[in-house]
Structure 1
Amino acid sequence: MPDKHLSSQFDSDLNHVSARLLELGGLVESQLRQAIYALAELSTEVAQQVQETENRVNAMELEIDRELTSIIARRQPTAVDLRLLLAISKTTANLERVGDEAAKIARMVKSIIDSGAARKLPAYELRVAADMAAEQLRKVLDAFARLDTEEALQIVKGDDHLDEEFNGFVRKLITYMMEDPRTISPSLDLLFLAKSIERIGDHAKNIAEFIIYIVKGADIRHAPIEEVESVAR
């Protein structure tokens, strides 16, 4: 994480809040993996566990925010450290939203199971996109721990592949609904579920951009990929 400071207590504060962020990331990653399992196995029980984890994720987000506020008020950080603290705050918010999407996936899985149409829908085909999103999240948390801009760049570029998976799945789902109108309602649940997976990839991309911001001091959100590559390298 950051270089050593003259104040060992400040170092301790930064390391602690960084560790808490990665702890939150691990919890959210586990929640997402459970949601993917619930989808693959059509498990109501596991889906319920995913939803129950949401309260822990929300509580950790609030704890980290309070700690960040305290550090900024007490330490008056310099520009480099302020970038780190701001990026941790934004990353925490993105992780909480990933947790929200995982809980939403769990709710949709339960709804699809309750509809009785689960076996008629191509839910299994979402597994590829879901695994891609989970892997993006795992990689970006590892990149954040090492402040690895090269890995962050690869995550930014990889988001396009997840978007392609999402678009391809939507086309297949539309075909299912046209062939059998009885599947329209559960298919819409599956569509919203797919959108949640796509959004998880977006959140991973956001976190990758924050890594580049911490290290390089440049805000590359909404920048063309050529500019992102130039800054990151």
Structure 2
Amino acid sequence: MMTHLETELKLLKADTTVMWKLVISQLEKSLHALKTFDKGFSREVIASEKRVNSMELKIDRDCESIFALYNPVAVDLRFVLATLKINNNLERIGDIAEGISRFIISEKEPFDKELLKSTRFEEMFTGANHIVSDVLHAFEKEDTKLARSIFEKDEILDEINAEANKNIAEFIQKHPQKTVQALNVLSIIRRLERVGDQSKNIAEEIIFYMEAKVLKHLE
């Protein structure tokens, strides 16, 4: 029979997983909106952001209640501490998806295919989505090996982001009339790079609670 603490921890993990899947859905809808120029998906993302925020507040409150009522120790304590931080990272990824959707709504015409290809834009967007999904699987399965794989996968996002200024500048030189759209794509690339950073933070928290290791500041 499960203790009250074990029941609360199981519910906390389930709620965090639900929020995670919502955030992944937000990113997927943003990418679909950009590829199809269907602004309905962008508006859906913006409307759902309130739900992400309310879930973040609930998970925060649940963590605080577990601290107050059960005084967890050892791995249980690390799990609750990690979940608090993961919750914050997920809310930020939700904010990023909303911000990307607002850029899409602001556009008057579909995104230039040459612009998207030259910046490796779709590769970056898909990579960011996969990283958030992979780190969720690491959380669900308590798989530190999968969590560690996130660091390498994030390097691709960093690489595309590092090349973005040059690629955008070259595109603007050839298509000055599309400067605003090109700069919007640059802004979205910057945001997707932050999705990778947030996912790395989450991976670090998974390793911390499973292995009692703190990875921050070791790079």
Pick from 205, 208, 212 the counterpart of residue 217 of structure 1. Answer: 212
Match of 1:69 in 2: 64
Is the Cα–Cα contact under 8 Å of residues 117 and 186 in structure 1 kept in the other structure?
no
Residues 1:107 and 2:102 aligned together? yes
Match of 2:116 in 1: 123
C-alpha distance in structure 2 between counterparts of 1:117 and 1:13, whole Å: 47
Residues 1:150 and 2:140 aligned together? no
1:144-223 aligned within 5 A: 144-223=139-218
Match of 1:229 in 2: none
TM-superposed CA distance for 1:188, in Å, is 1.5
- Give per-residue Cα distances to partners, 1:186-217, cap 9 Å, x unaligned: 22211111111111111111111111101111
TM-score, structure 1 as length reference: 0.88
- Cα distance change of structure 1 residues 180 and 218 upon mapping to structure 2, 3 Å threshold: same
Instruction: Identify unmatched segments of 5+ residues in structure 2.
Output: none
Is the Cα–Cα contact under 8 Å of residues 144 and 210 in structure 2 kept in the other structure?
yes
C-alpha distance in structure 1 between counterparts of 2:26 and 2:197, whole Å: 17
Pick from 54, 58, 66 the counterpart of residue 53 of structure 2. Answer: 58
Q: Give 3-state SS (helix, strand or coil) of 1:118's partner.
A: coil
TM-superposed CA distance for 1:147, in Å, is 1.3
Match of 1:83 in 2: 78
- Give per-residue Cα distances to partners, 1:17-63, cap 9 Å, x unaligned: 01100010011001110001111112211111111110100000001
Q: Give 3-state SS (helix, strand or coil) of 1:36's partner.
A: helix
C-alpha distance in structure 2 between counterparts of 1:26 and 1:119, whole Å: 30
- Give per-residue Cα distances to partners, 1:89-136, cap 9 Å, x unaligned: 10000001100000111011112x22x473376135411100000000
- Cα distance change of structure 1 residues 141 and 89 upon mapping to structure 2, 3 Å threshold: same
TM-superposed CA distance for 1:72, in Å, is 0.4
Aligned-residue CA RMSD in angstroms? 1.7
TM-score, structure 2 as length reference: 0.93
C-alpha distance in structure 1 between counterparts of 2:20 and 2:139, whole Å: 10
Q: Give 3-state SS (helix, strand or coil) of 1:122's partner.
A: helix
Pick from 30, 34, 38 the counterpart of residue 39 of structure 1. Answer: 34
- AA aligned to 1:133 is A
Q: Which runs of 4+ in 1 moved over 4 A?
A: none
TM-superposed CA distance for 1:179, in Å, is 2.5
